[in-house]
Amino acid sequence: MAQDLHVLIVAAGSGSRVGGDVPKQYRRHRGKPLLRWSVEGFARDERVTSLTVAIGEGQIERARDVLDGLDIAYVTGGATRRDSVRSGLEQLAEAGASGFVFIHDAARADVPDHVTAALLAALESAPGAIPALPVPDSMIRAADGAIVEREALRRVQTPQAFHFDAILAAHRDWPDGREASDDAQMLRAAGGEVALVAGDERLKKVTFEEDFIDQRGLPALRIGTGYDVHRLVRGEELWLCGVQIDHEFGLSGHSDADVALHAITDAVLGAIGAGDIGSHFPPGDPQWRGARSDRFLAHAVNLATEASYGIGNIDCTIICEAPRIGPLREAMRHSVARIIGADPARISIKATTTEGLGYTGRREAIAAQACVLLEQRN
């Protein structure tokens, strides 16, 4: 019978080399949180007996969120990678684990089948096995430029595979306070042999900002357009770009009829392919009667954020004979900027008349059109 195969993924680091507020394992990489890639890969693998993820203190909610739907045991990691691995191994030991264990970095998204197959095969004759790659470039010592013989060097990756009892003992024997950059090194120090199998470039560790790839098959830039018209009537308030304007006519509509915000909202929704304002806020729905349109735009921008896009820039043209938009332009820009949480420099509000022609020319309505550029963000 095949040995049990436990998988321990360490995800308790702070990702300091990437920086930012969110540790790198929770950031999106090629369309999903980095951590989810490797965990999903192992969750699909029928050889795997159990899956444990070591996470940072206080990150259980975040981890559960990004690993939703997967059967995972969690353990709190420690200050160093070694501590995090140790915590995971001890939790597995308490649960009576035996057989084999793969120890893997959450920062490595793809785990090719040929690597796991080679590791398991190697464990038949050695207590440890690691994926390693040759070094293609010349290597020098930075201090003096001295050549380091690259033929002798290997780049070491994870998953690293071990007989469970052997790596647990090696971790327990390792002196406190001495750092270790990988687990194989500890097994070797304990006298255990470590086999090398062929690594794979796809196991590259996401380490720096530029390692993140956010393609999802979608463009880094997306564009959307929006257009809206509302009737001008007496006895209604006039709102444009979230600014209330003193005018003898106002716009009629189910909500506050802010035609400019509606056009911008539609442009944002259009850019992410998320329908139009009517599909999110049906005009017949009583809850939107008289609603301020800034909510609609904020909702659209939230959807864009969830889809990993931020506002690149917005250009909106208001089409009317009156009121005159020029004097209100700056207030409108700042209002839109406030609603979407962006720099006003990204926002342009323009106006034109239609020379007395058509319904805008006859002052029966105000129209607005908007164009929005979204940029992919991680």
Q: Does 159 bind ligand CTP (CB under 6 A)?
A: no
* Segment lying near ligand CTP (by CB under 6 A), choices 12-20, 167-175, 183-191, 367-375: 12-20
Residue 37 C-alpha from the chain's centroid: 12
Binders in 76-115 for ligand CTP, by CB under 6 A: 77-81, 84, 105-107
DSSP secondary structure letters along 293-327: THHHHHHHHHHHHHTTEEEEEEEEEEE-SSS-SGG
Q: Does 39 bind ligand CTP (CB under 6 A)?
A: no
Q: Does 127 bind ligand CTP (CB under 6 A)?
A: no
Q: Which residue is nearest to ligand CTP (CB)?
A: 13
d(CA 85, CA 75): 10
Q: Which of 7, 25, 170, 368 binds ligand CTP (CB under 6 A)?
A: 25
Number of alpha carbons in the 13 Å side-chain half-sphere of residue 56 = 16
CA angle 273, 278, 283 (to 5 degrees): 170
Q: Does 242 bind ligand CTP (CB under 6 A)?
A: no
Region of 363 on the Ramachandran plot (φ > 0 left; ψ -120 to 50 alpha; else beta):
left
Bridge partners for 47 per DSSP: none
Binders in 206-225 for ligand CTP, by CB under 6 A: 207
Closest to ligand CTP by CB, 26 vs 164, is 26
Tokens of 365: 């309505």
d(CA 259, CA 316): 11
Q: Which of 8, 54, 259, 307 binds ligand CTP (CB under 6 A)?
A: 54
Closest to ligand CTP by CB, 79 vs 198, is 79
Instruction: Output phi, psi for 337, to 5 deg.
Output: -60, -40
Q: Does 181 bind ligand CTP (CB under 6 A)?
A: no
Q: Does 20 bind ligand CTP (CB under 6 A)?
A: no
Closest to ligand CTP by CB, 115 vs 347, is 115
* Segment lying near ligand CTP (by CB under 6 A), choices 75-83, 113-121, 309-317, 328-336: 75-83
d(CA 289, CA 292): 9
The residues that touch ligand CTP, with contacts defined as CB under 6 A, are 10-17, 25, 54, 77-81, 84, 105-107, 205, 207
